[in-house]
Amino acid sequence: MKTITCRQMGGPCDEKFQGNTPEEIMQKGGEHVNEMAAKGDEGHMKAKEMMDAAVNDPEGLKKWQDQFMQTYNTASEE
Ligand SMILES: [Zn+2]
C-alpha cells in the first residue's frame, strides 16, 4: 500500500490517498478534487480545471501521468 498526497498530484492540500495500484490512488485523488471543488474550494477548483483540460490534451495528460508514476514509484511502501 502506497500513500500519495493531494499536493504530490498537483493539488493544493495535504490530504492523503492510499492504494495498492496507481489507478486506485488516481481515482481517489480525482474524487477528492471533485468533492472539494464542488464545495467551492478555490485551489481544488483550479486543480479540477487542470484535470478537465487534460481530457482534451493527450500530451499534457501523458506528462502528468508520467510524473504521477514517478511519484508513485518513489513513494514508500507501507
Ligand atoms: Zn486536496
Residue 13 Cα to ligand 1 midpoint, Å, equals 4
Calculate the CA 9 to chain-centre distance.
4
Cα distances (Å, whole numbers) of residue 51 to 31, 55, 57, 64, 73: 11, 7, 10, 10, 21
Residue pLDDT tens, the chain, 78 long: 999 999 999 999 999 999 999 999 999 999 999 999 999 999 999 999 988 898 899 998 899 899 999 999 999 888
Please list all protein residues whose beta carbon sits less than 5 angstroms from ligand 1, which is an ion: 6, 11, 13, 15
Please give the biggest Cα pair distance in the chain.
35
Residue 73 Cα to ligand 1 midpoint, Å, equals 21
Task: Please give the model's pTM, rounded to 2 decimal places.
Answer: 0.89
Residue 32, all three cell numbers: 477528492
Residue 1 Cα to ligand 1 midpoint, Å, equals 20
Residue 9 Cα to ligand 1 midpoint, Å, equals 9
Q: What is the DSSP letter of 3?
A: E
